[in-house]
Amino acid sequence: MLGIALSLCASIASAPQLNIFAIAVAARPPLALLLSVELLNQAFKRHHGAQPDSAEPRNGGLGLRAQRGTW
């Protein structure tokens, strides 16, 4: 968040003129980056929230040999 704020300040400071249009144009890239990262984060959370917990093996933790039964 600090990086976005610093980027926003640097973009506004480098605007050719300090009017509302120049500030709005200069502020767009950092805000667009923040928005895209937040959208990707929400999609990632939603995707992993819908799947079953993959931390536990499906065969009850018995391993490959017990799952096959032929070893």
The overall pTM is greater than 0.95: no
What is d(CA 58, CA 60) in angstroms, rounded to the nearest whole number? 6
Mean pLDDT of 44-63: 65
| Among candidate residues 33, 1, 28, 26, the one with its CA nearest the CA of residue 12 | 26
Please give the pLDDT value at position 66: 54
- The better pLDDT of the pair 59, 43 is held by 43
